C-alpha cells in the first residue's frame, strides 16, 4: 500500500490561509481586545529589533504571533 504525502507549504502560506478563512476576525470585539493585550503592539515593541535572530515558537496555535514574527526574521521554527 502506497502512502501519499500532502504537499508541503510554507508557514507563511499556511497562516495566510488561516487568516483568509477568518482566523480571529469572527471573534467578538471583547475577545479581540483581550488577545491584543497578549500579542498586540506592546508585545512586539518589547521584542525589539530581532535582527539576525533565529526564533523558536513552542505552541504556535493558530499562528497569530507567527504571522507577525515571520515579517521580522529569516529563520522561524515552530511546533505545536
Q: Residue ranges per domain, the chain?
A: 11-79
pTM above 0.85, yes or no: no
Tens-digit pLDDT string for the chain (80 aa): 676 767 787 877 877 777 676 555 667 788 778 888 888 888 888 988 888 889 898 987 777 788 788 888 888 888 87
Q: Quick one: DSSP state of residue 44?
A: H
Spatial contact of 15 and 63, defined as CB atoms under 8 Å apart: yes
Amino acid at each position: 500500500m502506497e502512502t501519499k504525502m500532502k504537499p508541503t507549504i510554507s508557514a507563511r502560506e499556511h497562516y495566510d490561509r488561516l487568516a483568509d478563512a477568518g482566523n480571529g476576525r469572527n471573534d467578538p470585539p471583547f475577545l479581540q481586545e483581550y488577545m491584543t493585550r497578549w500579542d498586540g503592539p506592546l508585545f512586539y515593541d518589547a521584542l525589539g529589533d530581532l535582527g539576525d535572530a533565529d526564533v523558536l515558537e513552542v505552541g504556535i496555535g493558530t499562528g497569530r504571533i507567527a504571522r507577525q514574527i515571520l515579517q521580522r526574521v529569516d529563520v522561524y521554527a515552530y511546533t505545536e
